[in-house]
Amino acid sequence: MTKTIRKIGVMTSGGDSPGMNAAIRAVFKTCSAYQITCMGIHRGYKGMIENDIFEMQPKDVKQIIHLGGTILLSERCKEFREFEGRKKAYENLKSHDIEALVVIGGDGTFTGAKIFEEEFGMPTIGLPGTIDNDIFGTDNTIGYDTAMNTVIEAVDKIRDTATSHQRLFFVEVMGRDAGFIALNTGIASGAIEILIPEKRYDMEEFYKNIATGAERGKISHIVIVAEGEKSTNIYDLAKHTQERFPTYEIRISILGHMQRGGSPTCSDRVLASRLGVAAIDGLLEGKSSVMAGIKANNVLYTPFEEAIKKHNELDAHLIKTAQILA
């Protein structure tokens, strides 16, 4: 350790993801181990501007490692986009003698943190908390594994009723700009088709695959659709498919925000815990304006600029696997 820090603030921002509480717990416990005061900031940048800041105690992180959501709450903040809002946030942090920050969130969170540090010199380390898994600099983001397991559990139940009634189900999963959840859960659930934002589709080929399945005696189908799929939307897709296959019973199931909730998996709890420790270690080593991540099971730090501008890319072999197995 090369730097002396007496107070560190921690907050969550943007969309919540399972495992954020485990990360908060790890940050607090690491601060305690190093005799650093940990200050909690409610409602992200909004709470920073409104001075909703408090000194965390052991009771605040008691029995939270298994909880979804975030005990620090999360809220989007337009005021933080303006210099005056950021100035007020900085003044509030200084009034509490906070010397560094740990921010847990995604691209938007890191963008705000980068600008804030450039303007006011507040050392900051980010932790990737998002179910989409699209942040560059880490193999997995906090909450991604749990979200996938939530989808699989739901799709398995949908398949039961799809088979019983010989139906075709279109299941929409989260992934506005990234198809990680759709691709992996589509493979794991045995979907006949997987539609993702990263790939343009020949819809005639899509219909041909469904027809081929019917010819082979398949009495039910599951199609996984990422919400950001650009070829069409799930309602038009279902409508056009019904027109092509009038004898099919077609249903739509949109899983929505249930994917963000629930108790985090073991994998997400361990990831969040490791990254929480890494954030404090990084600050004490003089690192700032970086995101802590894990690649090939090793902790590494990626500059915010790279984490924001670059994005994880889907594995080409995984896409090939999905095409073969479908």
Four-residue CA torsion sign, 19, 21, 25, 31: positive
Which amino acid makes up residue 197? P
pLDDT digits (tens), the chain, 326 positions:
567 999 999 999 999 999 999 999 999 999 999 999 999 999 999 999 999 999 999 999 999 999 999 999 999 899 999 999 999 999 999 999 999 999 999 999 999 999 999 999 999 999 999 999 999 999 999 999 999 999 999 999 999 988 888 889 999 999 888 899 999 999 999 998 999 988 877 788 888 888 887 777 676 789 999 997 777 789 998 999 999 888 888 999 999 999 999 999 999 999 999 999 999 999 999 999 999 999 999 999 999 999 999 988 888 899 899 888 87
Q: What digits encode the pLDDT tens for the residues 108-142?
A: 999 999 999 999 999 999 999 999 999 999 999 99
Q: Give the C-alpha separation, 78 to 228, whole Å.
A: 24
Determine, yes or no, domain membership for 322. Answer: no
* Maximum distance among all Cα pairs of the chain, rounded to whole angstroms: 71
116 and 254 share one domain: no
Q: What is the CA radius of gyration of the chain?
A: 22
124 and 271 share one domain: yes
pTM: 0.93
135 and 271 share one domain: yes
165 and 189 share one domain: yes
179 and 55 share one domain: no
Question: Is 52 designated active site?
Answer: no
CATH number at residue 218: 3.40.50.460
111 and 235 share one domain: no
The catalytic position among 132, 134, 145, 268 is 132
154 and 236 share one domain: yes
196 and 295 share one domain: no
60 and 85 share one domain: yes
Determine, yes or no, domain membership for 137. Answer: yes
**256 to 94, 147, 235, 251: CA distances (angstroms):** 39, 11, 15, 16
Q: What digits encode the pLDDT tens for the residues 137-180?
A: 999 999 999 999 999 999 999 999 888 888 899 999 998 888 99
Determine, yes or no, domain membership for 74. Answer: yes
156 and 282 share one domain: no
245 and 171 share one domain: yes
Determine, yes or no, domain membership for 315. Answer: no
Q: Which two tokens stand for residue 116?
A: 């804030």
Determine, yes or no, domain membership for 316. Answer: no
108 and 215 share one domain: no
Q: Which two tokens stand for residue 269?
A: 């709890």
- Total domains in the chain come to 2
Provide the domain limits for residue 249.
144-260
Helix, strand, coil percentages in the chain from 3-state DSSP, rounded to 5: 45, 20, 35
